[in-house]
Amino acid sequence: MDFEHSAKAREYIERVRRFMADEIEPMESEYHRRMGELDNPWVVLPEIEELKAKAREQGLWNMFLPEPEYGPGLSNLEYAPVAELSGRSAIAPEIFNCNAPDTGNMEVLVKYGDEAQQERWLKPLLAGEIRSGFAMTEPDVASSDATNMEATCELDGDEVVLNGRKWWTTNAGHPNCEVFIFMGVTDPEAGRHSRHSMVLVPVDAPGVRIERMLTSMGHLDAPSGHGEVVFDQVRVPRENIIAGPGRGFEIAQGRLGPGRIHHCMRLIGAAEMALERMCERSLSREAFGKPLADLGGNRERIAEARVAIEQARLLTLKAAWMIDEKGVKAAMSEISQIKVVAPRVALEVIDMAMQMHGGGGLSQDYPLAAAWAGARSLRLADGPDEVHRALIAKMELARYKNP
Amino acid sequence: MDFEHSAKAREYIERVRRFMADEIEPMESEYHRRMGELDNPWVVLPEIEELKAKAREQGLWNMFLPEPEYGPGLSNLEYAPVAELSGRSAIAPEIFNCNAPDTGNMEVLVKYGDEAQQERWLKPLLAGEIRSGFAMTEPDVASSDATNMEATCELDGDEVVLNGRKWWTTNAGHPNCEVFIFMGVTDPEAGRHSRHSMVLVPVDAPGVRIERMLTSMGHLDAPSGHGEVVFDQVRVPRENIIAGPGRGFEIAQGRLGPGRIHHCMRLIGAAEMALERMCERSLSREAFGKPLADLGGNRERIAEARVAIEQARLLTLKAAWMIDEKGVKAAMSEISQIKVVAPRVALEVIDMAMQMHGGGGLSQDYPLAAAWAGARSLRLADGPDEVHRALIAKMELARYKNP
Amino acid sequence: MDFEHSAKAREYIERVRRFMADEIEPMESEYHRRMGELDNPWVVLPEIEELKAKAREQGLWNMFLPEPEYGPGLSNLEYAPVAELSGRSAIAPEIFNCNAPDTGNMEVLVKYGDEAQQERWLKPLLAGEIRSGFAMTEPDVASSDATNMEATCELDGDEVVLNGRKWWTTNAGHPNCEVFIFMGVTDPEAGRHSRHSMVLVPVDAPGVRIERMLTSMGHLDAPSGHGEVVFDQVRVPRENIIAGPGRGFEIAQGRLGPGRIHHCMRLIGAAEMALERMCERSLSREAFGKPLADLGGNRERIAEARVAIEQARLLTLKAAWMIDEKGVKAAMSEISQIKVVAPRVALEVIDMAMQMHGGGGLSQDYPLAAAWAGARSLRLADGPDEVHRALIAKMELARYKNP
Amino acid sequence: MDFEHSAKAREYIERVRRFMADEIEPMESEYHRRMGELDNPWVVLPEIEELKAKAREQGLWNMFLPEPEYGPGLSNLEYAPVAELSGRSAIAPEIFNCNAPDTGNMEVLVKYGDEAQQERWLKPLLAGEIRSGFAMTEPDVASSDATNMEATCELDGDEVVLNGRKWWTTNAGHPNCEVFIFMGVTDPEAGRHSRHSMVLVPVDAPGVRIERMLTSMGHLDAPSGHGEVVFDQVRVPRENIIAGPGRGFEIAQGRLGPGRIHHCMRLIGAAEMALERMCERSLSREAFGKPLADLGGNRERIAEARVAIEQARLLTLKAAWMIDEKGVKAAMSEISQIKVVAPRVALEVIDMAMQMHGGGGLSQDYPLAAAWAGARSLRLADGPDEVHRALIAKMELARYKNP
C-alpha cells in the first residue's frame, strides 16, 4: 500500500484548497443564510453558477472520474484528499460538479451508457448544465435487499413501461434536474441478479409525479432535496434501458463501489472541519474562569476525535487504493468497512463539536447540524450499516470454511 | 424509596393514557403533515385548541404543579408516569398545558410571583390562554456559567431598563406568546449569586425585537420555535421584577430542579415510543427472507434499548422521589444524574429505531427524527452534560474531603 | 414498586456494615497477602473459620434464604443491600455463609430435597461445615444451550450411573467440599425440558476425578477454585436424585433466578468499593502539580461511574422486588436485564478504578484485579450476556405478536 | 505515506510466519501447560533455548533494531508486520530476541552506551544470553509524571549511589536477568528535563533486593515476571551512568518512541490471533441448533473486530513510517495516538473472542486471558492513556494558538 500523494494529487489538493479558501469559504455562511430566508428554496442562486463556471474554467471539475477524457483523471487514491477537502463544505461538491448522486449517475453512463445516451444525458451532466436523480429506494419494502423491489419496467414492443413508487430520490427538487435513472424489475422469473433493469427517464415524462419532498433529520437539503416520486404507466423508448434489460443489479453494484467511498472521503473532511471548529471554540470561549479546552474531559475528547479521524482517513485511503489496484470486487470488504466507519466517526466528531458550541452548535449558524444530518443519512444510504457488517463478517468467515 | 403508584397516580395514568389513545394519537401524524405544508407555520391549528379544551374539561390540565390549588396536585413521583406518557407525543404536553418553558415559568410565578404578577400572567398561563418565553441564554458567552451573563437590567427609579441579546427563547414564535421572563445583571458588584434579577417583559414592549427563529437540528419546532431576541433599552415597571432585585440566580436554581426532571420523564416516554416502533417495524418488515427482528444484532439492540430505558426510568423516579421527600437541594446529584442519562438513553433508542426504519426513519413520516432533535437539545438545555457531570463528581468527591 | 428498606433490612444492613468494618476489612489485605504466599493455597486459614463462627453467632448467617427457618428470612429486596455490602469483599460472602455456589445448592435442597437429602447435605451446608459444587457446564459443548449437554445419569435398578466431563465446578478445590450436584441426561427421548436429572454425588465417590483446577482470568480463586471434574461410571443410590428423574431442567431454572441476582447485588457492592477507591486515589495522588481528580476527564469518569452504579442498583432492586412480589417466572426479563447490566457496570467502574491506580491497580496489592476477574466471569456464568439479551428481546417482541 | 512492504520486509514476514507455524505454534500450548504445572516457574525451559538457537541461526534475531550491524536492519515500517506476527504468541518475541524490555534496553545501549557498556551488557543481550530490566516506575508516586520520581542516584567520587524503590521491573524474575537500567534523580536543582540519570546496575550488586513479584491481572508472567525492587545504598562505578549524568529524561523519551509502537505492533498481532480464534469457534460450536456465528449479533461483532483491527494496523504503520521518515519527535502525536488505540482494540477484540469461547475463553486453555492481561497492562505501561490523550490534544490545540 502506497498512500503517497502523486505530484498530480498534490497539485489538485493545493488548487482545491486555495479555491475553497478564496472562493467558497468566504461566501458560504452568507449563502446558507440567504437560502434559509427564501420562501421558495428550490432555486440555484446565481453565486453558485458563478463559482461553478470559475471552477470549471480552472479545471477543478469532474475530478471524481478516473477516466482522463472527462477531467483531470485522478485515481481513487488521488481523488481521496480532494474529495475530503470538498467535504468540508455543503456546497463545494456541487461547485466542482462532484456531487452525489450526479457523480454515480455519470459513472453509470460512462461505463454502461451507449453513445446516444451519453450524448443526450452524460454530456450535459459533465457540463454541469443539468442534474439527475437515482430512483431506486422504495417506501414500502426494505430496499437494502434488492430482491424486495416492487417497481416494474415491462418491455412492450419498442417501449418500456415503468410503474412504481420511489423515494429518497436526491435532486428531485433541483430546478435543473432533467433525468432519473429508474430501477425496476423487468423479468421476475429471471435469476436474483438479472431480473432488474435501469432506465433513463426524463423528469417531465408523462406519468412521472414528484409527490413531495422528504426532510432528512429536519433538513430539506434544498435545492437538491429528496423526492418521493411516483411512476405511473410511464412509457419511454426501449433504448432508454442502460446496457440492456436485466443488467440493473450489476450496474448498481458497480455504481456503488467508488460512490460509497466518495461519500466517506467527504465525511472525513466534514469531521476534520468539525474538529477544527471544536478546537477553535474550545480556545475562544470561557466558562468558570477557563477556556473550555481546560475544562473537564474536553481535551480528551479532542484527542479521541483526532485519533478517530486519522484511522478513518487511513482506512478510506486503503479502500481507495484497493479499488485502484485490485478492482471494486476485491475491495468489497474494505468498501463496506469504511462505509461503516466513516459516518460513525463523522457523527461522533460533529456531535462533540456541536456540544462544544452550546446551543449555537445545533442551530443554522454553524454548518455542524447540517453536516450531522448528512452523515446520519449515510448510515442508511448506499446500504445500512447492518448490511455492510453482515458482508464484512461473511467475507471474514469465508476464509475459514472448507472447500 | 417507595415508587409504588398511588391511587391518584394510577387514575391519572389511566385517564391520560386513554386521552392520548383516543384523542391525540389518531390525529397526530395528520397534524404534523398539515403543519409541514403551511407557508406560515406560526399558527395554532384549531384542533389543538379543541383538544386543549377537552383536556382541561377532563381535568387533565396543569398536572405538573404539585400545588393542589392549580390542578390535580400530583407529587413529582406521581407526575413522572403521566409526564412519561405525554412525552410519547410532540403535541401532548401543550394539550395538557404541561409544556416547557411555560411549566417552568408558571412554577416561578407560583413560588416567587406577587399577587399582581400572578393575576396578570400566571392566571392566563394556567388557563392556557397565553404562552411565555424564558430569556436567559446568550449567544456571545458560555451561558452554562451564569456569571458570564452580559444582559443587564438596570434599576432606574420606578422602572427597570433591560438591554441584551438572548437566544433559544422557546415560544418566541408562538402567536399567543405574551410575556418573557428576562434574566440580567442588576448589580455587577454583588456576590456571584445575587447580582442577577428576573423580570417579566411583555412581548410587545418597545425595544423587544424577535430578530429571527433558530432551527434546532434542522427543526423550527413551530409554532413555539426558538427565538433570538434583542432587548434594546426596554423599560418596564420595577414591579415586574420577580421577588425583587438580585434574586435571579436563586429563582433559576429553583426553576430548574423539577423542570429538569420533567424533561427527563418525557424523554423516557419518547424512548419508550421509539422502542415500540422499533419492535413493530422489526416484525413487519422483511429482508433477505426474514423479518428484520431476526437479522444480525437487531434483537440484541432491542434488548439493550429495554435495559437502558428501564434503568433511566428508575433513576428518574428516584430523582422525583428525592425532590418530593428531601427537597431540590438534597436531590441535586440525582437531578444531574438523570439529566445526563435521560437524553443519552433517548438518543440511543431513537437512533436505533430510526435505523430500523431505514430512510423513512429520518423523514417527517415518523416522529423519530423530531424526537431525536428534541432529545439532542436537552444535552445542552438546562445545563450541558459536562456541567452536570462536573457537579456529580464534585458531590461525590465531597464525601472524601476532610473538614 | 416499594424499595423502602424494612426495619429488618435496616437492622441487617447496619449489623453487616459494622461486622465488615470491624472484622473483615482490617484483616482482608493481609489475608490475601498470606494466601498469595502459600505453596498450597487449597486450605482454609484459621482466621476465616474464626470469623465464620463469629458471624454465625451474631446471626449474620444464611441471610440469602428467604425461608425464616434457616436464618433471618430476608426477602430478596431485603437481602439486596446486605448482599451488596458483602460484595465489597472477596471473602465476606463465605464468612456469612452466603457464597455461591453453596447458596444455590442450598436453595435447591431447601426447595427440592427430600428429608434424607436435607439431613445429609443441607444441614452441614447450612452450618457452614462443608462446601459443595455444581457440576453442570461441560467443556465440549456450548452449555448455554442445555440440550447440548452430553453427561448422562442412567438409571440402573436402585442406582444411577453418572458419566461425563464437567468444568467450572466452583468449590472443587475447597478442602471442605464434600458433594457435587451433578446434572446429566437421564432420558434422551424425553421432552426438551424433562430429559435431565440432578444427582447428589459425594466428592469421594469412586469414579469422581478432579482432573485440574482452572484459572479464571489468571486467578485460581483458591481455596474454592474452579475444577474440571470427570465422572467415570460413578454409581450412587437412586435416592440421590433430587426430586426424581427428569426434573433437572426445572430445578436449574428455579436455582438460577435468585442466584443470578445475588451475583448482581454483590457486583454492585464491588463497583461501589471500586468507586470509593477511585475517588480516594484521585484525591491523594498528584501528577503535573494537581491531584489526579483535577486532571483531564477524571471527574467526568467519576460521575459516569456514579451514574452507572445508581442505575444498576435500582434495576437490581426492581428485579428483587419482582421476584418477591410476582415470582421468578414473572421476573424473567428483569433478571436477565440485571444479569446483563451488573457485570458490565462493575467491569467498567473497576476498570476505571484500576486505571486511576496506575500499575498498582492491576496488581495483587488492591482488590481491583481480582474483582474485575470475578465480574468478567459473570458475563458467562449463569448464562452468557448474549443469551440473556436474546431472552429479553424475545419477551419484548412477544408483546407485539398476534395470537 | 508508502506502506508497501519492501522485498526485505516480505522476505522476513514469510520467514517469521513459517518459523512460527513450524516451530512455535505446535509447541506453545503444551509449553504453557508445562509452565503452569511447575512449582518454580522462574526457569527457562530447554525448548525455549532450543528455539532461540534455531531462530538465531536463521537470522530471525534482533529484528527490532534498525541498525544493520545488529541484525537484518529493518526499518520500523518493515519491522511492523514482523512484530505483528510475533505478537500472536506469548513466547515468540523472546525466541526472536525481540522482547520488551530487553529491546528498549538494547536500543538505549546502542544509541547512548559507551564502548565498555556495550561490550559488557549490549553484547550478551544481543546474543540472548542475558536478560535485563528497566527500573523506572515507583510505587509511591504517580510515575506518569517523571518529576514525581523519588529514587536518587547521587554522585560520590568515582561512584554513584542509588537509593529508591521501583516496581513493575519486568524480567526481574528471569533466571538470566543480570542487569537493570535504573533511573533516578541526580540533581534535583537541575531543570525539569535534566535532573535524572540512567545507571546500569548488576542484579547482584550489594543493596539490590528483589522484594517480590507482582501479578498483573492475576498473571505472574513467569519466567520474566514483574518485580518490586529496592535499591538500598547501591554503589556502582560512575562509568555505569549512561551518556553521563542528567540525561535520563532525554534517554527515556528516545527509548519510548519505537518501543511504544513495537508494543502496538504486537498488540495488532494479538488481536488478529483473537479474531481468528473467534471466527473458528463461531463456526465450530453450536447452540440452539445453529453455529454460534449465526446467533444474535455475533457476525456484527466479527465485523466490528475486523474494522477495528484494520484501522489500528494502518495507524501503527503510519506511526512507524513517521518515525522512519521524520524522526521520533515529529511522530510524537502519532505515537501517542497508536498507544491509545492499539491496547483498546486488542482488549475489545480479545474480550469478544473470550466471550465466544464461553468459560474456556477465560481459562488457561486458550491464550486469550493472558493476552488480555498483557494488553490491559499496556494501557498503563509506557504512559497511561490519559497522558497520551493529553499530549495528543496539546499538539492538536497548538496549531491554533497565536505566536
Higher pLDDT, C9 or A254: C9
Helix (H) or strand (E) holding B346: helix B332-356
Report pLDDT digits (tens) over A73-84: 999 999 999 999
Range 173-202 of B in CB contact (< 8 A) with C? none
Check if the beta carbon of residue D319 is closer than 8 Å to that of residue D331: yes
Kind plus residue range of the DSSP H or E element containing C154: strand C152-156
Over 50: is that where the pLDDT of B403 sits? no
User: Which residue type is seen at A290?
Assistant: K
- Which residue of A215, A299, A336 is the best one to mutate when testing the B interface, meaning the one whose CB has the most B CBs within 10 A? A215
Question: Chain D residues with CB inside 8 Å of C354's CB?
Answer: 376
Q: Is the pLDDT of residue D306 over 70?
A: yes
Specify whether the CB–CB gap between C338 and C319 falls below 8 A: yes
Inter-chain CB proximity B370 and A142 less than 8 Å:
no
The single residue listed with the C-alpha cell 489468571 is: C218
Using CB atoms, which chains have 3+ pairs under 8 A with A?
A: B, C, D
Q: Where are the alpha helices (DSSP H) in B39-101?
A: 46-57, 76-86, 92-95
Angle, alpha carbons D228-D233-D238 (nearest 5°): 105
Q: Using CA atoms, how far apart are residues C350 and D379, in angstroms rounded to an integer? A: 14
Give tens-digit pLDDT for C198-234.
999 999 999 999 999 999 999 999 999 999 999 999 9
B interface test, pick of C275, C292, C306 with most B CB neighbours within 10 Å: C306
| D198 pLDDT higher than 90 | yes
Give the model's pLDDT for residue B402: 58
Positive or negative, the Cα torsion across D229, D234, D240, D242? positive
- Pair B249, B112: CB distance under 8 Å: no
**Cβ within 8 Å, pair A333-D4:** no
Give the whole-number percent of chain A exceeding pLDDT 70: 100
Distance CA(C104)–CA(C112), nearest Å, equals 12
Q: How confident is the model at residue B401 (pLDDT cuts 50, 70, 90)?
A: confident
Mean pLDDT of C44-68: 97
Flag if D303 and A396 touch (Cβ within 8 Å). Answer: yes
Q: CA B146, CA B190: separation in Å to the nearest integer?
A: 14
Tell me: the pLDDT tens digits for D275-289? 999 999 999 999 999
> Mean pLDDT across chain A, nearest whole number?
96
D332 and D395 Cβ atoms separated by less than 8 Å: yes
Q: Is the pLDDT of residue A403 over 70?
A: no
Residue B355 β-bridge partners: none
| Cβ-Cβ contacts under 8 Å for C138 (sequence gap 6 or more) | C148, C149, C150, C151, C164, C165, C166, C167
Could you tell me the pLDDT band of residue A402, with boundaries at 50, 70 and 90?
low
Tens-digit pLDDT profile for residues B28-59: 999 999 999 999 999 999 999 999 999 999 99
The answer to whether the beta carbons of residues D281 and D301 sit under 8 Å apart is: no
Q: Is the peptide bond before D223 cis (omega within 30 degrees of 0)?
A: yes
Match 427524527 to its residue by C-alpha cell. Answer: B369
Partner-chain contact A314 D312, CB within 8 Å: no
pLDDT digits (tens, 9 = 90+) for C268-295: 999 999 999 999 999 999 999 999 999 9
Q: Chains with ≥3 Cβ pairs under 8 A against D?
A: A, B, C
Determine the pLDDT at residue A155. 96
Please answer yes or no on whether C312 and B310 come within 8 Å at the CB atom: no
- Chain A contact present for D80, CB below 8 A: no
Residues in chain D within 8 Å Cβ distance of C383: none
* Type of residue numbered A93: P
**Helical axes A332-356 vs D298-326, angle rounded to 10°:** 80
> What string of DSSP letters covers B135-183?
E---TTS-TTSGGG---EEEEETTEEEEEEEEEEEETTT-TTEEEEEEE
* Grid coordinates belonging to A366: 454553524
pLDDT band at D403 (very low <50, low <70, confident <90, very high): very low
What does the pLDDT read at residue D253?
83
Q: Residue B172: which of B127, B231, B126 has the closest Cα?
A: B231
Instruction: List, in order, residues 6 or more apart from C6 with CB less than 8 Å away.
Output: C78
User: In terms of Cα–Cα distance, which of C238, C355, C364 is closest to C305?
Assistant: C355
Give the amino acid at C196: H
Residue spans of alpha helices (H) in D158-197? none
Q: Does D144 touch chain C (CB under 8 A)?
A: yes
Say whether D167 and C359 touch across the interface (CB within 8 A).
Answer: yes
CB atoms closer than 10 angstroms to residue B54: 14
CA angle D4, D5, D9 (to 5 degrees): 165
- For residue B120, name the pLDDT band (cuts at 50, 70, 90): very high
Q: Which of A371, A308, A381, A310 is nearest to A345 (CA)?
A: A308
Q: Which is nearest to B63 in space by CA: B12, B23, B114, B22?
A: B12
Buried b (16+ CB within 10 A) or exposed e, B22-40: ebbeebbeebbeebeeeee
Burial of D14 (0-12, 13-18, 19+ CB in 10 A): exposed
Using CA coordinates, name the residue in chain D closest to C288.
Answer: D145
CA distance A218 to B369: 7
Instruction: Tell whether the model's pLDDT for residue C33 goes beyond 80.
Output: yes
> Tell me, what's the pLDDT at C48?
97
**Amino acid symbol at D201:** V
Closest Cα in chain B, distance from residue C250 (Å): 25
> Å from A216 to nearest chain C CA?
28
Residues of chain D positioned with their CB less than 8 A from the CB of B299: 296-297
- Give the whole-angstrom CA distance, residue B263 versus residue D77: 53
What is the rounded distance in angstroms from the CA atom of residue C336 to the CA atom of residue C257? 9
Bond before D46 cis per omega within 30 degrees: no
* Residue B187 pLDDT level (bands cut at 50, 70, 90): very high
- pTM (two decimals): 0.97
Distance from C-alpha of B392 to C-alpha of A290, rounded to nearest angstrom? 20
Interface of C with B in 375-394 (CB under 8 A): 386, 388-394
Residue D209's H or E segment, with its range, is strand D208-214
Residues of B in contact with D296 (CB under 8 A): 297, 299-300
Report ipTM for this prediction: 0.97
Considering only residues 118 to 137 of chain C, which have any Cβ-Cβ distance to chain D shorter than 8 Å?
Answer: 137
State mean pLDDT over A32-47: 94
Q: Provide the shortest C-alpha distance from residue B125 to chain A (in Å).
A: 26
State whether B333 and C306 contact (CB < 8 Å).
yes
Residue B156 CA to residue B160 CA, distance in Å, equals 5
What is the secondary structure of A19-45 as a DSSP string? HIIIIIHHHHHHHHHHHHH-S---S--
pLDDT of residue B380: 96
| Cα of C307 to nearest chain B Cα, Å | 6
The residue of chain A nearest to residue B37, with distances taken between CA atoms, is A212
Residue ranges in D290-384 assigned as alpha helix (H):
298-326, 332-356, 368-377
For A192, residues 6+ apart whose C-beta sits below 8 A from its C-beta are: A147, A249
SS3 state of residue B202: strand
Helix, strand counts (H, E) of chain B = 13, 9
Residues in B 257-316 with any Cβ partner in D closer than 8 A: 296-297, 299-301
Q: Count, in order, helices (H) and strands (E) of chain C.
A: 13, 9
Cβ–Cβ below 8 Å for A303 and D401: no
Q: What percent of chain B has pLDDT over 70?
A: 100
Average pLDDT over residues D42-57: 97
DSSP annotation of C20 reads I
Name which of B343, B363, B372 is nearest B274 in CA terms: B372
Whole-number CA gyration radius for chain C: 21
Cell numbers given for D275 = 479474531
The residue among C285, C314, C317, C385 with the most chain B CBs within 10 A of its CB, best to mutate, is C314
Closest alpha carbon to D297 in D316, D278, D315, D284: D278
A299:D401 CB<8 A: no
Name the amino acid, one letter, at B316.
T
Whether residue A358 and residue B390 make contact (CB cut-off 8 A), yes or no, is: no
Question: Is residue A264 within 8 Å of residue A338, measured between CB atoms?
Answer: yes
Give me the half-sphere count of Cα atoms (radius 13 Å) on the Cβ side of residue D75.
23
A395 touches chain B (CB under 8 A): no
E strand map for A194-353: 196-202, 208-214, 226-237, 286-287, 290-291
If you measure CA to CA, which chain C residue comes closest to A295?
Answer: C296
Query: Is residue B400 less than 8 Å (CB to CB) from chain C?
Result: yes
In this prediction, residue D260 has a pLDDT band, given cuts at 50, 70 and 90, of confident
Contact C318 B314 (CB under 8 A): yes
- Angle at CA C154, nearest 5°, toward C153 and C160? 80
Is D177 a residue whose pLDDT tops 90? yes
| Cα B338 to Cα A9, C306, C312, D233, distances in angstroms | 50, 11, 13, 56
Residues of C in contact with A300 (CB under 8 A): 296-297
Mean pLDDT of chain C: 96
The three three-digit cell numbers of residue B237, written as one number: 415597571
A191: amino acid identity, one letter:
G
Subunits with at least 3 CB pairs below 8 A relative to chain B?
A, C, D
B40, B215, B299, B348: which to substitute to probe chain A, counting the most A Cβ within 10 Å?
B215
B1, with CB counted inside 10 A (0-12, 13-18, 19+), is middle
On the question of pLDDT at C403 being above 60, the answer is no
Q: Is the dihedral of CA B293, B298, B300, B302 positive or negative?
A: negative
What pLDDT was estimated at residue B147?
A: 85
Nearest neighbour of D283 by CB, restricted to A388, A391, A400: A400
For chain B positions 33-62, those within 8 Å of chain A (CB to CB) are: 36, 39
- The identity of residue B173, as a single letter, is G
* Interface A-B: count of C-beta contacts within 8 A: 133
How would DSSP label each residue in B57-113? Answer: HTT-SSTT--STTSSS---HHHHHHHHHHHTTSSSHHHHTT--TTHHHHHHHHHHH-
Could you tell me the pLDDT band of residue C402, with boundaries at 50, 70 and 90? low
Residues of A in Cβ contact (< 8 Å) with D343: none
Chain C, chain D: beta-carbon pairs less than 8 Å apart: 132
Given this model, what pLDDT does residue C253 score? 83
Residues sharing a CB contact under 8 Å with residue D40, sequence separation 6 or more, in sequence order = none
Q: Is residue A247 predicted with pLDDT exceeding 50?
A: yes
Best B35, B168, B217 residue to mutate vs chain A (most A CBs within 10 Å): B217
Question: What are the grid coordinates assigned to D248, written together?
Answer: 535520563
The domains found in chain A, sorted by start residue, are: 7-99 (1.10.540.10), 131-246 (2.40.110.10), 249-398 (1.20.140.10)
The pLDDT, as a whole number, for residue D402 is 59
Burial class (CB in 10 A: 0-12, 13-18, 19+), D238: middle
- Rounded to 10°, the helix C248-284/C102-112 angle is 150
Q: Which residue has the cell 457488517?
A: A389
User: Taking residues C134-140, what's their average pLDDT?
Assistant: 96
